[in-house]
Amino acid sequence: MSTDYKFEAVVIPVTDVDKAKAFYQLLDWRLDADFAFDNGFRVVQFTPPGSPASVQFGSNITTAEPGSAQGLYLIVADIEAARSDLAARGVEVSEAFHPTTPGAQFQDDGSGRVAGPADERASYGSFATFTDPDGNAWLLQEVTKRLPGRIDPAETTYTSVDDLRQALQRAAMAHGEHEKRNGGKYDEAWPEWYATYMVAERTGQELPQ
């Protein structure tokens, strides 16, 4: 039997710990720890809402150049809603975009990017970016349907009320199309259809029609 290796934290380099702490508090990320020691070591940990992994920074925690952490992924169910939330908090966030060349989402000069979400809001295709005060770069990616094999089929939980709300909205839209294909007849079995759709979407299985 293989051993579980749960990736739970990544260290990012910052110049001013308190300034970085204030920024991530502004995002409303959960503050898990702020421990300082007599030898100058300090570790601060934040967890983004709905995330199983956390970010750490502090003093004497890394020799990496402040701001050198790039392409840190944050997966969201709605790229525009995520952008609006960040902007409302005073964060400078890019417009939503989609790449026209592979890897364009990582290019600082913006080459290979087209403004606006991906065509038909294709899962994995829409991005936006923002940075913390040191320039550590975060990459928002919209994922609504997981590719097969990319999630444990036993894990169909939703991490927040908003996550569940967005899943229900997508199911409702898909169910509307389902009813149209069936002559517009009211589907009395809609709860079963919703449940099947939402579990299939969450686990990367074929969606019901």
For the segment 108-158, what is each residue's pLDDT rounded down to a tens digit?
A: 888 889 999 999 889 999 999 999 999 999 999 999 887 766 665 566 677
Query: Cα angle at 92 between 68 and 82, to 5 degrees?
Result: 100
Residue 57 is predicted with a pLDDT of 98
Strands 54-59 and 42-47: antiparallel
pLDDT band at 163 (very low <50, low <70, confident <90, very high): confident
At 206, which amino acid appears? E
Residue 150 is predicted with a pLDDT of 61
For the segment 181-203, what is each residue's pLDDT rounded down to a tens digit?
A: 888 788 787 888 887 877 777 66
User: How far is it, in rounded angstroms, from Cα 181 to Cα 184?
Assistant: 7
